[in-house]
Amino acid sequence: MKRYSAFAIAKEARRHHKGWERAWRSAVAKPEYDVVIVGAGGHGLATAYYLAKNFGVTNVAVIEKGWLGGGNTGRNTTIIRSNYLQDESTAIYEKARGLYETLSQELNYNIMFSPRGVMMLAQTEHELRGFKRTAHANAIQGVKTELLTPQQVKKKVPIMEINGPRYPVLGALWQARGGTARHDAVAWGYARAASDMGVDIIQQTEVTGIDQSRGAVSGVQTSRGMIKCKKLAIVVAGHSGLLAEMAGFQLPIESVSLQAMVTEPVKPCLDVVVMANTVHGYMSQSDKGELVIGGGADGYNNYTQRGSFHHIEETVRALIETFPIISRLKMLRQWGGIVDMTGDRSPIIGKTPLEGCFINCGWGTGGFKSIPGSGWAMAETVANGSPGTLAEPFSLDRFAEGRFIDESVAAGVAH
């Protein structure tokens, strides 16, 4: 792999940029692999990368029915934070946030990580008490967060109206080392690094069936033929239930659309991420000047990736009270991503009833922020055949045993 650097750019400029290599190989599937990963989004590619880097497992295929990063990885609002309530959640999200900080250097690919800080507004007394509890939990967990007064909120975000008639700002939970990253670049960076270590990335190939032999996985049927494998990792977010059905088991998840939109570009006016959970809206400003706006998940199960008018109206109406400045902006585009929700709003990582088959799903609205930590934990689980410290609490059998990891509040989005 040719390293990217200022010197490489200067060198290529002298020869009209004709010497650049493809970022990753366009692989043709082999008859058999040690591991097949279904899903070339951030989680699947990170799993492949850490399998190769941490465990030397390189005979790996990542199969994607569409294009690399074309699912939820390319359809989210790019927020990165780790200020969750439960210890198990904080551990894996903080692992991810820490990996994000040096990911550009590790992958030799600029993921545009921006630790601008994440502010979660408290606009009811109940929410303020909840954030106080979370702040105390974070202090015990070693995650640095702090509670801000309304005046401190106003100082950080001058465009905010903190004395709204219905939802005044009573305070905020602030994580200074949270922020954003470029979603496409995260997928591309992991793909490039994994491909360089020998991982095959196979796009436009849909999995149509999962083969079994004596209770263990033996391969997958695809739109381009059969591929044998010793281990199978299902990492397909909202479509996890469909793949699980092919493998002969059910998952306790629901798939719904989570919608977002961006405005026309404007001059810099918001240099932090703001989440207003009471009114079901969150917002940041992109490097191009667009305001990136997200809201609550749809109230019914669906697989749509298009937006709907009622969500525009609901989300924007709520945010305008807190951010009157956005009322005259035009919407540039809108989209939806298919998120997979568990009952306790925490992920599932680990073994399945089918021997040799592993699952990584149920991230709900927290998928992008967790990519490095999720890939790290999933790679360890697949390589060793059993979950490590990060993944063990999120096993599938916790639902049968009643070991819930309730993050319905700290997830920060209306479900």
**Are 369 and 388 found together in one domain?**
yes
Give the pairing of strands 60-63 and 171-175.
unpaired
pLDDT > 50? residue 185: yes
CA–CA distance, 272 with 118 (Å, rounded to integer) = 6
**Are 357 and 322 found together in one domain?**
no
Q: Own/partner pairs for 352-355, CB < 8 Å, 24+ apart? A: 352/234, 352/244, 352/247, 352/249, 352/396, 353/248, 353/249, 354/210, 354/212, 354/215, 354/216, 354/217, 354/247, 354/248, 354/249, 355/215, 355/216, 355/217
Query: How confident is the model at residue 410, as a pLDDT?
Result: 65
Q: Which of 342, 364, 386 is the last residue of a domain?
A: 342
CA–CA distance, 270 with 265 (Å, rounded to integer) = 12
**Are 47 and 125 found together in one domain?**
no
**Are 153 and 202 found together in one domain?**
no
The closest of 207, 197, 256, 267 to 233, measured between CA atoms, is 207
**Are 195 and 272 found together in one domain?**
no
Query: How confident is the model at residue 306, as a pLDDT?
Result: 82
Give me the CATH number covering residue 143: 3.30.9.10
DSSP 8-state code for residue 331: E
Task: State how far the alpha carbon of 354 is from the alpha carbons of 31, 64, 213, 357, 358, in Å.
Answer: 21, 21, 10, 6, 8
Residue 414 pLDDT class (50, 70, 90 cuts): very low
pLDDT digits (tens, 9 = 90+) for 14-52: 999 988 989 999 899 999 999 999 999 999 999 999 999
The closest of 162, 167, 111, 84 to 364, measured between CA atoms, is 84
User: How many Cβ atoms sit within 10 Å of the Cβ of residue 218?
Assistant: 16
pLDDT digits (tens, 9 = 90+) for 117-129: 999 999 999 999 9
Report the DSSP beta bridge partners of residue 103.
none
Average pLDDT over residues 148-172: 95
Q: Chain-wide mean pLDDT for the chain?
A: 94
pLDDT > 50? residue 415: no
Query: How confident is the model at residue 298, as a pLDDT?
Result: 83
List the domain range (segments joined by +) for residue 68: 22-82+85-96+183-252+344-401
Average pLDDT over residues 127-138: 95
**Are 259 and 310 found together in one domain?**
yes
Average pLDDT over residues 201-211: 97
Query: How confident is the model at residue 413, as a pLDDT?
Result: 54
Query: How confident is the model at residue 62, as a pLDDT?
Result: 98
Among 54-63, 277-286, 289-298, the range of highest mean pLDDT: 54-63
Least confident of 140-154, 270-284, 300-314, 386-400: 300-314
Q: Which of 342, 358, 392 is the last residue of a domain?
A: 342
Give me the CATH number covering residue 76: 3.50.50.60
Average pLDDT over residues 284-302: 90
**Are 190 and 246 found together in one domain?**
yes
The closest of 368, 408, 331, 383 to 74, measured between CA atoms, is 368
**Are 126 and 76 found together in one domain?**
no
Least confident of 10-14, 107-111, 138-142: 10-14
pLDDT digits (tens, 9 = 90+) for 379-388: 999 999 999 9
Query: How confident is the model at residue 223, as a pLDDT?
Result: 96
Query: How confident is the model at residue 49, as a pLDDT?
Result: 98
pLDDT > 50? residue 347: yes
Average pLDDT over residues 309-332: 89
pLDDT > 70? residue 408: yes
Number of compact structural domains in the chain? 2
Residue 6 pLDDT class (50, 70, 90 cuts): very high
Query: How confident is the model at residue 251, as a pLDDT?
Result: 96
pTM of the model: 0.95
Q: Which residues contact 316 (CB under 8 A, 6 or more apart)?
A: 281, 293, 326
pLDDT more than 70, % of the chain: 98
Report the DSSP beta bridge partners of residue 200.
61
The secondary structure of 164-226 as a DSSP string is -SSS---EEEEETT-EE--HHHHHHHHHHHHHHTT-EEE-S--EEEEEEETTEEEEEEETTEE
CA–CA distance, 151 with 173 (Å, rounded to integer) = 13
